[in-house]
Amino acid sequence: MGMAVLPNNTDSVDDPLLPWLRSIKKALDDLKSSAESESRRQLDNTLEECIMKFKDDNRYCNDIRFLKIWLLYADAIQDFGSVFGIMEESKICLTQSLLYIAYAIFLEAKGKLVEADSIYRMGISRNAQPLEELKENHSEFLRRVSDYVNCGSLQEIDNGDSVQLQTKCVNPWAISTINNLLRKINPQMLKYNGYHIINKIYSGKVRLSSLHNNSRNKLVEIGGKKYLIKGCSGQGGFAQVFKAYVNSDAEEVVALKIQKPAFPWEFYMYRQLDMRIPIEERPSFAFAHKVHIYSDYSILVCDYLAHGTLQVGMLYFIYFMLIICIQLLIWTSYFAQDAINSWVVIGQCMEEVLCIYYCIEMLHMLEILHSVGIIHGDFKPDNLLIRYSRNDLTEDGFRGRTGPWHDQGLCLIDWGRGIDLHLFPDGTEFKGDCRTSGFRCVEMQENRPWTFQVDAYGLCVIVHMMLFGSYMAVEKKVSSDGSYLYQPKSTLKRYWNVELWRDLFTKLLNISPGEDHIKSLRSLRESFEDYMTSNPTLIKKLAQLLVKQRASLCCA
């Protein structure tokens, strides 16, 4: 927690705690200056001796200074539960809101969000002071949890190994579901190569909390290696992704995903990909080399791809529209922050042949992924990195993804919301809301069960963004047989391949329960491939556009 106990002025001449406060402050100062194990032991011993000496002294049962000593001790031994139990039994500082805030923060760092919530509520029910500060911290905690799991429920759900809700549906992103699944698979995870558990807080010289978007050339020590931070690649509510050089070697570049509280689930999903995805398809789904799980942070070490996301890749046409402008760098810097808005500004979208290519790639991805029982759960353009072949693209090998086309395509990242269907009984459906604006499938919007629809809807939104330059709005239309079909509100342009796109949206926005949607994905992919291979000039044009796109992104 890093709290410093400072000696307070006191009117009392007889304050035996005061010399101890000075000793603790000196020990803290020594620890900050040397960080050696002997300094750590000296501080721990001083804290323990002080607590044992004054634990039963009524003068200090509600003294904020004594509370801070207890909190330092709990942080030192990393057993806040036992310390809290002793304090409750001895009725020490139970009316101080700091006690509940500190314990709840500790639990949150451990990933025990339900327990953290109960501690906040306990302090509020005891009217701990200052009460408003406690309530404010609790509200901030709930906002973080909402962002973290994208689910508004903190309710415990535990009706067996499948963690099923009473409605026979499961919220796959609920805290209780994730915690129960992690407990279930923990013995399996301990055997995974690259899974490192460190049962203490991260104690490197560079504090992880000091890393920000503009952090450069900071040296972070993790698992015996030193990573030189070269910039922030992305940031969410609880995680940051940094480009880093391993042992300062510019030839060995990785991505570090630093997350608080620790989140081992994503590493589990990466190892499932390793085991289930065919080796020739594996480059399309990202790699994680290792994860370090501390009591306060997790650090995921992944491959780093330098060519940006599909979200940025959609800008290639804009770059070449502006290449003659002397303000090119100013414009591209602006547009790269918001690809969608940039299309609206200049009224341009991605060429259809490139849209078709990326649509084929995404259909193929979901076909492979869903066939092995995995749902990504967060399928959107900024989670799709662009892969480029080192060799020139030719007309040969396009359909079979051989030769240079094997290395060309997309790479799906960020598996924090991944769902492993093998951990649930056959036929399980889900009823959670991703809460991601623009990517909530129809079933989520109407509070109906879903499974693969969450990824299929994401694909449709991405296609709509490529074609129209905007997010997709859907409407419910009556079909010829009296049933309802969902379709995008936007009107397809006459000079596009209208039947191909209409078929795509119709099938993927209207997946019925029990339908063989993998067969539909394959059929759609093959129809787009048939069109592309029907005319050799289309593949030649595609290859030229990909070269231009790569050049434009390098310029940016």
Indicate which residues carry an active-site annotation: 378
CA dist 301 → 112, 194, 310, 496 (Å): 24, 9, 22, 42
| Burial classification of residue 191, based on how many CB atoms lie within 10 Å of its CB (0-12 exposed, 13-18 middle, 19 or more buried) | exposed
User: What is d(CA 466, CA 73) in angstroms, rounded to the nearest whole number?
Assistant: 56
User: What is d(CA 282, CA 203) in angstroms, rounded to the nearest whole number?
Assistant: 35
Q: What is the DSSP string of 14-72?
A: --THHHHHHHHHHHHHHHHHH--HHHHHHHHHHHHHHHHHHTT-GGGTT-HHHHHHHHH
Q: Is 487 helix (H, G, I), strand (E, B) or coil?
A: strand
Terminal CA-CA length for the chain: 41
| Burial classification of residue 12, based on how many CB atoms lie within 10 Å of its CB (0-12 exposed, 13-18 middle, 19 or more buried) | exposed
Neighbours of 509 (CB within 10 A): 19
Asked if 246 and 230 touch (Cβ cutoff 8 Å), the reply is: no
| CA 487 to mean position of chain CA atoms | 30
Which one, of 425, 431, 508, lies nearest residue 464 by Cα?
Answer: 508
**Sole residue written with tokens 């379709």:** 487
**Triad 45, 46, 47: Cα angle to 5°:** 90
Which one, of 200, 370, 185, 190, lies nearest residue 297 by Cα?
Answer: 200
Which one, of 240, 244, 238, lies nearest residue 257 by Cα?
Answer: 240
Asked if 382 and 309 touch (Cβ cutoff 8 Å), the reply is: yes
CA dist 342 → 312, 320, 461 (Å): 11, 13, 17
Asked if 324 and 445 touch (Cβ cutoff 8 Å), the reply is: no
Q: Is 219 helix (H, G, I), strand (E, B) or coil?
A: strand
Report CA torsion sign: 443, 447, 448, 451.
positive
Phi/psi zone of residue 515: left (φ > 0), alpha (ψ -120 to 50 degrees), beta? beta
* 359 CB-side CA count, 13 A: 31
Neighbours of 499 (CB within 10 A): 11
User: What is d(CA 377, CA 459) in angstroms, rounded to the nearest whole number?
Assistant: 11
User: What is d(CA 405, CA 546) in angstroms, rounded to the nearest whole number?
Assistant: 11
CA dist 238 → 141, 261, 338, 362, 376 (Å): 12, 7, 22, 27, 19
